[in-house]
Amino acid sequence: MKTTKKSNVINRWKLGLMVSVGIVIFILGIFIIGRQQNLFGSTFTLKTVFNSVSGLQVGNNVRYNGINIGTVSDIILMNDTTVLVLMQIEKNKKEFIRKNSRCLISSEGLMGDKVVLISSGTTNFTVVKDNDLILSDPAVEMDEIVSSLKNTVENAEIITGEVAVLMYKVNNGKGTINRLLFDSTLAKDMTATMENLKEGSESLNESMDAAKNSVLLRGAFRKQKKEEEKKAREEQEKKEKK
């Protein structure tokens, strides 16, 4: 009989302990959820308008310079092109948000939950007030990013194919590039052409020197030289005056 009573007492203690642990876990859960939703802190409301919320949901985080400062409290469809987003922001963060701050919908990572990012604005604008409406920037849609990446990959495939064809022709003795690289006759012709150009340039320089020293053209060259020197002096005087 005594053993039965002792067993009942132990069972009651176990039951009471389990109930107590459950209540503690329940209270902690409510506190954590309430803290995330700003239910227990002093908050104020900010509003913004988007053409599309891009998967944003009530309860998603609002961030300022990478720090969580609030949550999305409501999303209201105003018409077919306007969505009003209400945000509950911690009151002690109000002083950092200006009336020219802007909102942007982004993602936590590539495929994470959506968040609202608030920029800091500039100090020449006043601090926001409760129920103020701040402007927004259009969200970057994931479909647009995927489409852009797809186009880039397709272009890369085309370029790679063209390069492969070009290298095949070069390696198999076809095309102008192959001739430039491997045709010894063409290389000799180009060398001879360069030598002819060099000789022609030297002859031209000699002719110019001879013309400068000739009696007929010496005066003209001297006059030209004097004009150049005069022009240089005038430019120097202008620089000195400045």
Q: Looking at the structure, do residues 47 and 136 belong to the same domain, yes or no?
A: yes
> Could you tell me which residue, 63 or 196, shows the higher pLDDT?
63
In a domain, 121, yes or no: yes
Those residues with Cβ within 8 angstroms of residue 60's Cβ, 6 or more apart along the chain or in another chain:
71, 72, 113, 114, 115, 116
Measured distance CA(133)–CA(205) in Å, rounded: 77
Which of 58, 125, 52, 64 has the alpha carbon at shortest distance from 89?
64
Q: What is the pLDDT of residue 128?
A: 93
Beta strands in the chain (DSSP E): 43-50, 61-64, 67-79, 82-90, 102-107, 114-118, 132-136
In a domain, 111, yes or no: yes
Q: Looking at the structure, do residues 136 and 119 belong to the same domain, yes or no?
A: yes
Q: What is the pLDDT of residue 237?
A: 77
Task: Write out the two tokens for 21.
Answer: 């642990």
Distance from first CA to last CA of the chain, Å, rounded?
Answer: 117
In a domain, 147, yes or no: no
Task: Write out the two tokens for 48.
Answer: 């913004």
Q: How confident is the model at residue 240 (pLDDT cuts 50, 70, 90)?
A: confident
Phi–psi pair at 199, nearest 5 degrees: -65, -40
**Domain with 11 in it:** 1-36
**Per-chain mean pLDDT for the chain:** 75
Q: Looking at the structure, do residues 59 and 23 belong to the same domain, yes or no?
A: no
What are the angstrom distances between the C-alpha of 154 and each of 110, 149, 151, 166? 22, 9, 5, 19
* pLDDT tens profile 146-174: 666 667 777 777 777 767 766 666 566 56
Cβ neighbour number for residue 169 with a 10 Å cutoff: 14
Task: Write out the two tokens for 20.
Answer: 């107590």
User: Are the C-beta atoms of residues 50 and 44 closer than 8 Å to each other?
Assistant: no
Q: What is the pLDDT of residue 98?
A: 93
> Could you tell me which residue, 148 or 212, shows the higher pLDDT?
148
Domain count, the chain: 3
Measured distance CA(194)–CA(30) in Å, rounded: 87
Q: Looking at the structure, do residues 126 and 57 belong to the same domain, yes or no?
A: yes
> Could you tell me which residue, 161 or 77, shows the higher pLDDT?
77
3-state secondary structure of 23: helix
Beta bridge partners of 68: 63
In a domain, 161, yes or no: no
Q: Looking at the structure, do residues 5 and 23 belong to the same domain, yes or no?
A: yes
